[in-house]
Homo-oligomer: A and B are copies of this chain.
Amino acid sequence: MQRIAIDMDEVIADFIPKHLHVFNRDYNENLTVNDLTGTRLRELRPQFLREINAYVDDPLFFRDLAVMQDSQEVMQQLSERFEIFITTAAMEVPASFTAKYEWLKEHFPFLDEMNFVFCGDKSIIHADYLIDDHARHFERFKGKGILFTAPHNLNETGYVRVNNWLDVRDYFLR
């Protein structure tokens, strides 16, 4: 059975709307996802770099992220034909461990927690496919990288791209 490794933030967990929401609230701004095309919040507002990064150090930040549209249904279908692992660079945000674990158990109860991986350098992942929004994780990955579209990676070329979970379904199950 082939194995698909799947990232969390901006792939199954909708990170950006919450990050923008707390930033807009605290700094009286009205930034939208469109403002992040080809960039990131910390690049758009470098004067608030420290504050922007600090949001994710809140142990609860990741606990109530929205689930990416169609990800639950499609992953349920994928899990009947593929071995599914969740592979998230949680070591970049150690405060997030518990929230990420609980979030996965809540929203993807059909997955086995023995298939959750909290790592940093994803070259350690042994899988046939890796669905991720960060192309840098594909550089030393031995399987096939599949780029999940996010505002910051719109200018990235050279990888199979999926724009949403219906694209993921079509790629693996058509």
Question: Is the pair B116, A91 in contact by a Cβ cutoff of 8 Å?
Answer: yes
CA distance A90 to B125 in the complex (A): 16
CA distance A83 to B89 in the complex (A): 18
CA distance A92 to B116 in the complex (A): 10
Residue of B whose beta carbon sits closest to that of A59? B98
- Which secondary structure dominates where chain A touches chain B? mixed
Given known pairs A91-B113, A126-B126, A126-B142, the reply for A97 and B118 (CB within 8 Å) is yes
Candidates B89, B97, B120, B125; contact of A126 at CB < 8 Å: B125
Q: Which of A94, A98, A112, A124 has the most CB of B within 10 A?
A: A124
Q: How many copies does the complex hold?
A: 2
Residue of B whose beta carbon sits closest to that of A119? B117
Q: Given contacts A114-B121, A117-B118, A123-B126, could you give 4 more A-B pairs where the C-beta distance is less than 8 Å?
A: A91-B114, A97-B101, A116-B120, A118-B119
> How many A residues touch B, CB cutoff 8 Å?
28
Q: List, in ascending order, chain B residues with CB within 8 A of A123's CB.
A: 126
Question: Is the pair A94, B101 in contact by a Cβ cutoff of 8 Å?
Answer: yes
Q: Is A127 among interface residues, defined by CB-CB distance under 8 A?
A: yes
Q: Is A168 among interface residues, defined by CB-CB distance under 8 A?
A: no
Question: Is the pair A121, B115 in contact by a Cβ cutoff of 8 Å?
Answer: yes
Question: Is the pair A124, B117 in contact by a Cβ cutoff of 8 Å?
Answer: yes
Residue of B whose beta carbon sits closest to that of A100? B97
Q: Is A85 among interface residues, defined by CB-CB distance under 8 A?
A: yes
Question: Is the pair B125, A115 in contact by a Cβ cutoff of 8 Å?
Answer: no
Residue of B whose beta carbon sits closest to that of A87? B124
Q: Is A5 among interface residues, defined by CB-CB distance under 8 A?
A: yes
CA distance A119 to B113 in the complex (A): 9
Question: Is the pair B115, A85 in contact by a Cβ cutoff of 8 Å?
Answer: no
